[in-house]
Structure 1
C-alpha cells in the first residue's frame, strides 16, 4: 500500500475535506489497493462499479478510461483549457448538497479548502462580505434575515471555502439542501 499521495494544486488536502479517505478498496481503474480511495462526485455516462485511487485521478487515467469528470466546468469560465482539464479531470471533487462547482480568482481556478460554517468564516470577514453581496444578488433583501442565515452556516447550510492560488484571497459560496 502507498502512503504518499499525489499533490493536487486545486484541492490541496482532499483527506481533510473528506473527498479521499483511507481504505482497503481496490481502485476500479488500476485494480490496485493503494490505501486511499476517492469518495466524492464523478460524472460519466458509463457505469462505474467502484471507486478511484488518488493516483488514477492525478494522472488523468480515471477520467480518460471512464470518459468522465470529477467536477462540472460550471464556474470555471475564463480559465485556460489546461486549467479546465486539470480541475475537471485530474483533481478530486468534493461533497456538496447541490452540484459542487469551482470558483475562480485572478483568472485561475481557486484551490478548494473545505466545507465550513460561520465560525470558520468569521476569521475571513472579506469572505462574509462577498457572501452577503452574492446572496443579495440572489434575492435576499432582508438584512436581518441574511445575517441570521450567515451566522447559522454549519446548521443545515454551509459554505464552500476556496483560496486563490495566486494572491491568497479567500472566497466562498453557500451550499444548502
Structure 2
C-alpha cells in the first residue's frame, strides 16, 4: 500500500474516497490510475488526480474546495491546506472536519458500528464529547443506529498533537 502525503488524510489509499481506475485528470490533463471524483465547485468535476489536489492547482482551477465545513483553527495556512489541498472523505451529507489543539485532526476511517468504538477503549468519552456539539444527534439514536452501511454513519478522527480520538456523526 502506498503512503499518503495528505497530512490530514493519512489513510487515503485504504479508503473508498479514492477511485482506483483509469481516467484523465480534468485539471492537468494527464492519464491517471487513481483519482478523486468530487469537490465543492460549480464546475462538473469527476476526475482529479492526487498531485493536483496536493499542490492546490485543482482548487484554483475549479474555484472550489474539497471540504464543505470544519471546526475553526486560528492558522490560515492550516485552513488552506485542509480546504484546498486535502481530499474529502465520502459522507452522507457534506464533508465536515474536526479540529483539536488548534489544528485539524486526521481522518482515520469510518466507524463500522457502535461496538467499533469499544475497541478504542473510549466509547463513552467519544459519545459524550460528540453530544456536546450543538449539531449532534441524540445519543440513544446514535447508539442504536450507528453503522457504516446504514443511514447513520460515524467518522473517526484523531488529534495529531494530543492523540485524542474524536467522532463525527452524519445522518441521511
Of 143, 146, 150, 1:153 maps to 146
Larger Rg: 1
Deviations 1:88-107 (A, max 9, x none): 00001011112121000111
Structure 2 counterparts to residues 20-169 of structure 1, below 5 A: 20-39=18-37, 41-45=38-42, 47-72=43-68, 74-116=69-111, 117-135=113-131, 138=136, 140=138, 146=140, 149-154=142-147, 155-169=150-164
| TM-score where L is the length of structure 2 | 0.85
C-alpha distance in structure 1 between counterparts of 2:124 and 2:54, whole Å: 32
| Alpha-carbon contact 2:73-2:79 (below 8 Å) kept | no
* Structure 2 runs not aligned, ≥5 long: none
Segments of structure 1 that go 5 or more residues without pairing to the other structure are none
Moved over 6 A (4+): none
Q: Is the 8 A contact 2:105 2:160 kept in 1?
A: yes
Q: Contact conserved, 1:25 with 1:33, CA < 8 A, in 2? A: yes
Q: Alignment RMSD, CA only?
A: 2.3
